Structure 1
Amino acid sequence: MTKEKSNPQSPEEMAKTAQEAAVKSAMEQAQAMFGNIPGFQMPGGMQEQIMTQMGSGVPDMAEIQAQQEAMLKAAGVDPAVVAQAGMQNMAFAQQMMQEAMDGTLGKGLSSSDAMAQMMEAFGDDGWTINRSETGKLDAEQLRLLAFGAPMLVYNDEKVDSLADDEDVETIKCTLKDWWNVTDRESTLDIVKWLLEEGHHAEADEALAEIHKRRIENISQEERCDEESKMGDVCLIMESMLENGWCPKGQMPDSVIAWDLVRVVNLGRWAYLCGYVNEDEMWQIMQVAADIALEHFSSWEEYGRSFIMGRGVWHGEPVDSETAYEIVELLLKSEESPWKQSSFRAK
């Protein structure tokens, strides 16, 4: 029996296939970024909508960009990084199509090599602490807001203000699409989940086992167990030690700071959307601060927990590296709320 001969793809078909694969991969990565949150799912039809617009040749890029930036911001993912990756993917697809058309595909400098070179060309502007200096918040309110400071720095927002650069409708759409938060009840449901379980519960179980037995005694079989976070916790712990992101002997006992930072910001967003009143917002932040004090004794310990938690989130050391850079800034800069507010209430 002879195999059915397939028709070779044209350069245009190859480019379209690569483009579709890139979009699919990007959407899958975005879903993975947000973790397993109740009611948390990819907005239906987004991938199909993007591909349809691409196929029509008149994509509504402004709308797509606005949706992407709002969704990524809510999860603590830098839109600039995603935009950079998008440009790299587009350049990659364009070069691959050109190589196919001139017959050099797979010869000489490959499109993947070119993409790697472009990635190296992008610089890192670093992180900054922005302040409004309006004086509208008192000392205790600034202290409570400081427990959400890592995400404020990540999103390039003011660390001394409740305001958000995004308009309220954009924030509402983001909370609905990604957190299924649409009112007071759903806000409090997610807050409760983050405080009681979130992404820290399973990781803390693995951490306790590692502290009890030492990391070198954790078997490869245990690390590969997909039913637990043991593998991710071991990987991030080793990365933190190897890179000096945490002093030896000072590894956190919990990664709950990762969830507490998000609780504070969720409370702020819900208030801006009118889902909770101001008193309820401060109460949400107070609960997060009180729980932080049960686990940690300083901003340094809180920061190390955040560093580990962000990395364990989906097992990527680069996420811990980003968190480390932000935490170091918050611990050292005189403009930092961690420098200007005490960890414990006075």
Structure 2
Amino acid sequence: MEGLGYSLLLLLILIGLSFLAVCLSFIREKKITAEQQAQKAQDEIYKFLTEQPVPPTTHQQQAWLAFGAPIFLQFNEPLKEVRPEVSLLSISQYRQFLKQRWCITDSESAQVIIEHLLTLQDAHQLDALLEHKQQEVQQYLAAFTADNDPTSLEEAKKTSSTYAWDTARAIAVTRWCFWCGYLTEETMWRYIKQAAQTAQTCGLGSWVDYSVSILLGQKLSEPKRLHRNLDSDLLRLLGSSVYSPRTADHLPPAREYEIAIWREFDFIYHAKAF
């Protein structure tokens, strides 16, 4: 019996070692794959920057991009430039995302989706829901304005449209399509300018109204979809010093510097002539 027990113990040890070897091999391969993906992302973005040199943005262009800032922060993207950074996802990953999330695969489909957003088609449908979902809306607003300095509940209640959910996404999708080669630089800026001007004429003319409009649009259209600390990002852009524990994440230094973009540019910004 002793010999049988020893043999069983030895067998269990061999099985354990074999399992450990498989696990280590899997971890090693996963690490190599992650490194390869990171290198691929860098190579694709370096290629983009080499083949498509984009000049630094002007102050007026940065003011237009400010309207896409909440979506840019969701993806940890630059707020003031249209050039991609090497720390971002690969161009291939952006193409895959546009295909799966937006059904965008080429220039034609890109323009169809962007123009859909620019004409506030989603916002018109969501605005019709606002009256019927007042209880949920009040809950969203109460949670967003609780204990934070720049936004009061009474001020938030003045927002009556989800227009900003469409304009902010239009700007983000436009820049992604430019990165993926679906839009020219000229067309990109035309769409971004149009989205910013639409936002300036649709709402109450303030970044608070814009923030609440985005928040309501997201909550009403995608209530079960997780957006990484969207409320926190909006409060930061507004200049709030209040963060709840659930949203106390830290931004990279570059983003911490850019986060003041809404305080740098008035909601309706006109570049000075020099």
Structure 1 length-normalised TM: 0.51
Task: Quote the sequence identity (%).
Answer: 24
> How many Å apart are 1:299 and its aligned residue?
1.4
- TM superposition shift of 1:280: 0.6
State whether structure 2 residue 116 is matched by structure 1 residue 193: yes
1:338 equivalent among 262, 265, 273: 262
2:154 aligned partner, one-letter code: K
Gaps of 5+ in 1: 1-56, 71-133, 211-229
In 2: Cα distance, 1:197 partner to 1:136 partner = 29
**Aligned partners of 2:110 and 2:177 also within 8 Å:** yes
Amino acid at match of 1:237: Q
Q: CA–CA distance in 1 between the matches of 2:140 and 2:97?
A: 32
Letter in 1 for 2:167: L
Deviation at 1:167, TM superposition (A): 2.3
**Mapped contact 1:149–1:159 kept (Cα < 8 A):** yes
Letter in structure 1 aligned against 2:218: R
**Matched residues in 1 for 2:184 and 2:99: separation?**
18
- Post-superposition Cα deviations, 1:286-341, rounded to whole Å, max 9, x if no partner, equal 1111110112201121111112212112235985x932211110111774211112
Equivalent-residue separation in structure 2 for 1:323 and 1:275 (angstroms): 28
**What residue number does 1:265 align with?**
172
SS at match of 1:199: helix
Could you tell me which residue of structure 1 aligns to residue 181 of structure 2?
274
**Could you say which residue in structure 2 is the equivalent of 1:298?**
206
Q: Alpha-carbon deviations, 1:206-245, whole Å to 9, x = none?
A: 33xx3xxxxxxxxxxxxxxxxxxx34x5313323125525
Residue aligning to 1:238: 139
Distance in 2 between residues matched to 1:170 and 1:316, nearest whole Å: 23
Question: Are 1:235 and 1:315, in contact at CA under 8 Å, matched by a contact in 2?
Answer: no
* Structure 1 residues 342 and 136, CA gap change in structure 2 (3 angstroms): same
CA deviation profile, 1:242-280 (whole Å, cap 9, x unmatched): 552552253211112112111001110111111111111
May I ask how many residue pairs the two structures share in their alignment? 200
Structure with higher RCO (Cα < 8 A, 6+ apart): 2
Code of the aligned partner of 1:298 = S
Alpha carbons of 1:138 and 1:249: their partners in 2 closer, same or farther (altered >3 Å)?
A: closer
Alpha-carbon distance between aligned partners in 1 of 2:118 and 2:138, rounded to the nearest angstrom: 23
Contact persistence 2:141–2:156 (CA under 8 A): no
Residue by residue over 1:81-126, the C-alpha shift from the partner in whole angstroms, topping out at 9 and shown as x without a partner, is xxxxxxxxxxxxxxxxxxxxxxxxxxxxxxxxxxxxxxxxxxxxxx
User: Per-residue displacement from partner, 1:118-138 (whole Å, max 9, x unpaired)?
Assistant: xxxxxxxxxxxxxxxx98111
> 1:42-191 counterparts in 2 under 5 A?
62=33, 136-164=56-84, 165-191=88-114
- Whole-angstrom distance in 2 between the partners of 1:135 and 1:337: 19
1 or 2, which has the higher helix percentage?
A: 2
Letter in 1 for 2:186: D
Contact 1:306 1:323 in 2 (8 A): no
The one-letter amino acid of 1:136's match is P
Could you tell me how far apart the structure 2 residues matched to 1:167 and 1:314 are? 26
1:156 counterpart letter in structure 2: N
Separation in 2, partners of 1:243, 1:343 = 21
Contact 2:170 2:195 in 1 (8 A): yes
The aligned residue for residue 250 of structure 1 is 156
2:109 and 2:118 map into 1 onto residues whose CA distance is: 14
Give, in whole Å, the separation in 2 of the partners of 1:154 and 1:271: 18
Distance 2:26 2:226 in 1: 36
Which one of the candidate residues 116, 127, 142 is aligned to 1:204?
A: 127
Q: Is the 8 A contact 1:311 1:318 kept in 2?
A: no
SS in 2 for 1:254: coil
- Counterpart of 1:147 in 2: which secondary structure? helix
- For residues 315-334 of structure 1, what are the structure 2 equivalents within 5 Å? 315=223, 322-332=229-239
**Larger-gyration structure (1/2):** 2
Structure 2 residue aligned with 1:113: none
Q: Take 1:199 and 1:277, find their aligned partners in 2: how far apart are those partners? A: 25
Shift, 1:201, TM fit: 2.0
